[in-house]
Structure 1
Amino acid sequence: MKAREAARLRPVPLAVTALVLAAALLAALLIGPAGLPAGGVVKALADRLPFVHVDSGLAPVDRNVLFELRLPRVLLGAVVGGLLAVAGAAYQGVFRNPLADPYLLGAAAGAGVGATLVIVVMSDRPTFAVPLAAFAGAVAGVALAYGLGSTARRGGGSGTATLVLAGVAVSSFLASVQAFLQQAKAEELQRIYSWILGGLTLADWPTLAMIAPYAAVAVATLLLHGRLLDVLSVGDEEAAALGLSASRVRLTVLAAASLATACAVAVSGLIGFVGVVVPHVVRRLAGGSYRIVLPLSLLGGAAFLTVADLVGRTVVAPGELPLGVVTAFVGGPFFVAVLRAVRGEVDT
């Protein structure tokens, strides 16, 4: 526990991660089909601060590109990356497994069904319909998995393993429902697969405003539970001896992490590996205390997805790689490396 306390008190990892995020955000704002001058962008951003008045020198077209196209996309990518990473770290804390990810309990499958259902059924749909349906589907998928897991535990099942199995079962069922819906209207397959592969094409200020309150509640709840996750990591019996209700902490953390995941997938589609890669790197570099793993994962995930989106929209310009493809290129090999490391730790 002393090592974890020391990790909580070190400000250097937090400062370094914040600087990396700031650099990633600035690079993403500057680089694109319409190149923007660094000085003009910084002045234009400063001009939006209260009581600050600076002439940026940007042309009206450049200002529109910055504030109506690039800035909302960059901020949405940072929010989605941070939500997925902090949710992944929370899931890993609850299940005590470094390979757990935010989609473990059916959030991805539920979101896929919700989005697919709207795309298939509503030919003339408002822009908010798909993210709203994906959000509802993600929440419903996790609720169904948790309900099944709780029922199995009352029938004699054991703890977190039962929840994982319930998540696998729900995900498989919902995946089959999604496949059925896709075949029911084959002409919409391109739109469905475009959503499944992930991206930030929905980025605008109303979209950010739509998820902001839910994301804020989820992140605040997770960050406040960092110390309790540290206590939970020593075991349920030890936690109970310290007066902590392990089941109550798990339920609260899972609810908040699932809400964060639902917010992310609602506006970006399915983006894999962020919730595994970022928390694992943070844990390796800054220690295992969740009081530092959670906030660093939030910042690191934001930086990671910002850079991934920048790569996706520039490497094949004027085309664009789906964001989920970019993260898979990085996350696939990294996942194998993590798996080997975990196996080595278990073997020793």
Structure 2
Amino acid sequence: MVNANARSWMLLTSVMLLLLAWGSLSSGPVGWEWKMPIMWLLPESLTSHINELHVQVVTQIRLPRLVLGLLVGMALAVCGVATQSLCRNPLADPSLMGVTGGAAVAAIAVIAFSAQVSFISEALVAPASFIGALLATGLIYRLASHCGQIHITTLLLVGVAVNAIAFALIGVFSFFADDSALRLMTYWQMGSLGGASWRAMQYGAPLVLLSIVLLALRRKQINALMLGEVEAKHLGVNIKQLKTEIVFLVALGVGGAVAMVGMIGFVGLVVPHIARLLVGPDLRVMLPLSMLLGASVLVLADWLARLVVAPSELPIGIITALLGSPFFIYHLIKQKRGLHA
């Protein structure tokens, strides 16, 4: 049963997300027009000043950008929850662990060599990103686990090592890329929703949606896993299969997200922690709230990225890093104090 506190937060977050979506569709370099999201519901006398250019901007630029932000925000939040549950530690995050770096290496390799190798095309970015994320996730989990337990120190060190290798390989690919690919790679590494379009989402969106849905369907089993492996076994959970599925689905979600928007960090770290503080650790309510919060955070960050330096825009990864890094440092200090105590 969902308690009144959880229902209140779900309702409040849903309203906040609707307002952010409204603002995202209503504002931009073309101008601010609050009627745009509901112009088809209003009488013509109120919308006669809205020309065809505004309509095209909303339907072909702002709307796909909003949909992409919602998808990626939910995916990163869900993958963050799943990763923290798998490792049973609130500091576990796909971007810190190197999963995002693994996805980025594979995707950037495709971008770098697509102009030089005839059989490499844009359609391969999403599958390559997924494979890179899957390999990185499997490697990290294997190296950081001992007797079924994940040690956070080992996890972070392995993540640092994997990220270092990833950025070294990205540097190698950048060296061999041509000028057009190099510009795209540089901007892509900082994350952006600027390239959103209905066509660009056709490869990565199915991976992201599949990851979100399948992880959400497994929230009860993941809940049991958080109690401990022995307790989960007594509840009838196949531990080995569940862990494999979590690793696969996290790679699927992160790989699809990275393929579409590049490297965006800290959403998977900060959002689950906020949701846990608001409604508790029960994934039956915490996971849906994390999805709403993740979508809200990314839509807000994208809106700020467009408004702060308008008519240009900041890479969204810069904003999420500025918001998430202080939180990560605070959490490390808090954990350090707990260990000393």
Per the TM alignment, residue 210 of structure 1 is displaced from its structure 2 partner at its CA by: 3.0
Per the TM alignment, residue 249 of structure 1 is displaced from its structure 2 partner at its CA by: 1.5
1:175 equivalent to 2:167? Answer yes
1:259 aligns with one of 240, 252, 256: 252
Match of 2:224 in 1: 231
Q: What TM-score, normalized to structure 1?
A: 0.85
1:158 equivalent to 2:147? Answer yes
Match of 2:319 in 1: 326
Structure 1 pair 211/184, CA: closer, same or farther in 2 (3 Å)? Answer: closer
Per the TM alignment, residue 142 of structure 1 is displaced from its structure 2 partner at its CA by: 2.2
Per the TM alignment, residue 273 of structure 1 is displaced from its structure 2 partner at its CA by: 0.8
The answer to whether the 8 A contact 2:84-2:92 is kept is yes
Per the TM alignment, residue 178 of structure 1 is displaced from its structure 2 partner at its CA by: 2.1
Structure 1 pair 179/144, CA: closer, same or farther in 2 (3 Å)? Answer: same
Deviations 1:196-239 (A, max 9, x none): 01101220112233333322221111111222122111111121
Per the TM alignment, residue 195 of structure 1 is displaced from its structure 2 partner at its CA by: 0.8
Structure 1 pair 247/8, CA: closer, same or farther in 2 (3 Å)? Answer: farther
Match of 1:20 in 2: 16
The answer to whether the 8 A contact 1:82-1:298 is kept is yes
Distance in 1 of aligned mates of 2:99 and 2:148: 20
2:299 aligns with one of 303, 306, 309: 306
Give secondary structure in 1 for the equivalent of 2:227: coil
The answer to whether the 8 A contact 1:221-1:253 is kept is no
1:219 equivalent to 2:212? Answer yes
Q: What TM-score, normalized to structure 2?
A: 0.86
Per the TM alignment, residue 295 of structure 1 is displaced from its structure 2 partner at its CA by: 1.1
1:198 equivalent to 2:191? Answer yes
The answer to whether the 8 A contact 1:222-1:253 is kept is yes
The answer to whether the 8 A contact 1:113-1:134 is kept is no
Q: Which 10-residue stretch deviates more, 5-14 or 223-232?
A: 5-14
Distance in 2 of aligned mates of 1:26 and 1:109: 33
After TM superposition, the structure 1 = structure 2 runs for residues 2-41 of structure 1, keeping only pairs within 5 Å, are 10-41=6-37
Per the TM alignment, residue 116 of structure 1 is displaced from its structure 2 partner at its CA by: 2.5
The answer to whether the 8 A contact 1:130-1:266 is kept is no
Distance in 2 of aligned mates of 1:12 and 1:6: 10
Deviations 1:71-125 (A, max 9, x none): 1112111211111111111111111111111235543222222232233323379
Structure 2's unaligned 5+ residue stretches are: none
Q: Which 10-residue stretch deviates more, 174-183 or 184-193?
A: 184-193
Give secondary structure in 2 for the equivalent of 1:205: coil
The answer to whether the 8 A contact 1:105-1:146 is kept is no
Distance in 2 of aligned mates of 1:166 and 1:313: 35
The answer to whether the 8 A contact 2:26-2:35 is kept is no
Match of 1:96 in 2: 88
The answer to whether the 8 A contact 1:272-1:324 is kept is yes
Give secondary structure in 1 for the equivalent of 2:263: coil
Distance in 2 of aligned mates of 1:125 and 1:15: 50
Per the TM alignment, residue 152 of structure 1 is displaced from its structure 2 partner at its CA by: 9.3
The answer to whether the 8 A contact 1:89-1:294 is kept is yes
Letter in 1 for 2:169: V
Structure 1 pair 344/8, CA: closer, same or farther in 2 (3 Å)? Answer: farther
The answer to whether the 8 A contact 1:17-1:300 is kept is yes
Distance in 2 of aligned mates of 1:8 and 1:288: 16
1:123 aligns with one of 115, 130, 141: 115
After TM superposition, the structure 1 = structure 2 runs for residues 62-73 of structure 1, keeping only pairs within 5 Å, are 62-73=54-65
Per the TM alignment, residue 37 of structure 1 is displaced from its structure 2 partner at its CA by: 2.4
Match of 2:69 in 1: 77
Per the TM alignment, residue 6 of structure 1 is displaced from its structure 2 partner at its CA by: 5.7
Q: Which 10-residue stretch deviates more, 170-179 or 331-340?
A: 170-179
Structure 1 pair 289/143, CA: closer, same or farther in 2 (3 Å)? Answer: same
Distance in 1 of aligned mates of 2:161 and 2:332: 23
Distance in 1 of aligned mates of 2:314 and 2:214: 34
The answer to whether the 8 A contact 2:26-2:32 is kept is yes
Match of 1:50 in 2: none
Q: Which 10-residue stretch deviates more, 270-279 or 239-248?
A: 239-248
1:108 equivalent to 2:100? Answer yes
Structure 1 pair 183/160, CA: closer, same or farther in 2 (3 Å)? Answer: farther
The answer to whether the 8 A contact 2:29-2:311 is kept is yes
Distance in 1 of aligned mates of 2:202 and 2:222: 30
Deviations 1:238-261 (A, max 9, x none): 212222222222221222222111
Distance in 1 of aligned mates of 2:11 and 2:107: 38
Per the TM alignment, residue 144 of structure 1 is displaced from its structure 2 partner at its CA by: 5.2
| % identical equivalent positions | 32
